[in-house]
Structure 1
Amino acid sequence: MDKIDLSEVCQNYRARVIRVTPLDDYYLLETNRGPKELHVWPRVDVMRWSFAWRERLARQGFREVERFIRTRESKPYVLVGKQGVTMTDHLRKVDSYPSTVYTSYQCGRVVAMMHQSQQESNLLAGIDYLQQEQMKAETEWTRAKALVESFRSKYRREKGEKRWVAGLMDPLLQRMERSTIMLGSDSIAADSVGVSHRDLFRDNWGLVSGKLHLRGFFRPALSVQQRDVASYLRDVYLRNQDLQQVDSFLDGYEEVKPLSYGDYTLLLAFMARPREIWKSVESYVKRVAVNEDVPITGIEQALLSQQSIDTLLRHIADRAERPRSEGIHEPL
Structure 2
Amino acid sequence: MDKIDLSEVCQHYRARVIRITPLDDCYLLETNRGPKELHVWPRVDVMRWSFAWRERLARQGFRVVERFIRTRETKPFLVVGKRGVTMTDHARHIEACEPGTEWAYRCGRVIGMMHLSQQESPILSGIDYLKQEQIGADAKWTKAKAFAEAFRNKHGREPGEKRWVAELMQPMLQRMERSSAMLTHPSITPETVSVSHRELLRDNWGMVKGELYLRGFFRPALSVQQRDVASFLRDHYLTHKDLGQIDAFLDGYEEVKPLTYGDYTVMLAFMARPREVYKSMEAYTRRIANREEASVKAIEQALRIQESVDQLLQHIAYRAEQTRREGVDEPI
TM-score with structure 2 setting the length: 0.99
- 1:146 and 2:149 correspond: no
Aligned amino acid, residue 89 of structure 1: D
Task: Give unmatched runs, 5+ long, in structure 1.
Answer: none
CA contact (8 A) 2:39 2:86 kept: yes
Output the CA distance in 1 between the equivalents of 2:9 and 2:231: 35
The separation in 2 between residues aligned to 1:327 and 1:65, in whole angstroms, is: 36
Q: Which residue in the other structure is 1:243 paired with?
A: 243
The residue that corresponds to 1:103 in the other structure is 103
One-letter code aligned to 1:138: D
Cα distance between partner residues in 1 of 2:326 and 2:256? 21
Superposition pairs of residues 47-66 of structure 1, within 5 angstroms: 47-66=47-66
- Please give the secondary structure, in 1, of the residue aligned with 2:70: coil
| CA distance in 2: counterparts of 1:325 and 1:46, whole angstroms | 37
Moved more, 321-330 or 249-258: 321-330
Distance in 2, matches of 1:281 and 1:330, equals: 33
Give how far 1:297 is off.
1.1
Amino acid at match of 1:240: H
**CA distance in 2 between partners of 1:135 and 1:251 (Å):** 31
Amino acid at match of 1:305: I
Q: Which residue is 2:318 aligned to? A: 318
Corresponding residue for residue 129 of structure 1: 129
Correspondence for 2:36: 36
Letter in 2 for 1:262: G
**Structure 2: distance between partners of 1:191 and 1:242:** 32
- After TM superposition, list the pairs within 5 Å mapping 1:71-110 onto structure 2: 71-110=71-110
Question: CA separation in 2, counterparts of 1:323 and 1:228?
Answer: 20
**CA deviations over 1:30-80 (Å, ceiling 9, x no partner):** 000000000000000000000000000000000000000000000011111
The equivalent of 2:173 in structure 1 is: 173
1:190, CA displacement in angstroms? 1.1
Alpha-carbon deviation of 1:296?
1.1
Unmatched tracts of structure 2, length 5 or more: none
Q: Does 1:284 align with 2:284?
A: yes
Check conservation: 2:151, 2:285, Cα contact below 8 A. Answer: yes
Letter in 2 for 1:181: A
> Partner residue of 2:228?
228
* CA shift for structure 1 position 264: 0.5
Cα deviation, residue 152, structure 1: 1.1
| 1:327 Cα deviation from its structure 2 partner | 4.8
Higher mean C-alpha displacement, 303-312 vs 319-328: 319-328
Q: What TM-score does the superposition give when structure 1 sets the normalisation length?
A: 0.99
- Which amino acid in structure 2 is aligned with residue 127 of structure 1? I
Q: Shift of the alpha carbon at 1:331?
A: 1.9
For 1:281 and 1:325, how far apart are their aligned partners in 2? 39
More displaced 10-residue stretch of structure 1: 249-258 or 153-162:
153-162
The 3-state SS of whatever aligns with 1:196 is: strand
The alpha-carbon deviation at position 157 of structure 1 amounts to 2.5
In the aligned structure 2, how far is the partner of 1:153 from the partner of 1:111?
47
Secondary structure in 2 matching 1:143: helix
Aligned length, in residue pairs: 332
Give the C-alpha shift of residue 329 in structure 1: 2.4
Whole-angstrom CA distance in 2 between matches of 1:85 and 1:258: 35
Distance 1:140 1:185, change over 3 A: same
Aligned AA (1:13): Y
Distance apart, 1:323 and its partner CA: 4.3
Structure 2 contact 96–206 (Cα < 8 Å) conserved: yes
More off after superposition, 111-120 vs 157-166: 157-166
Q: How many Å apart are 1:328 and its aligned residue? A: 5.3
Identity %: 70
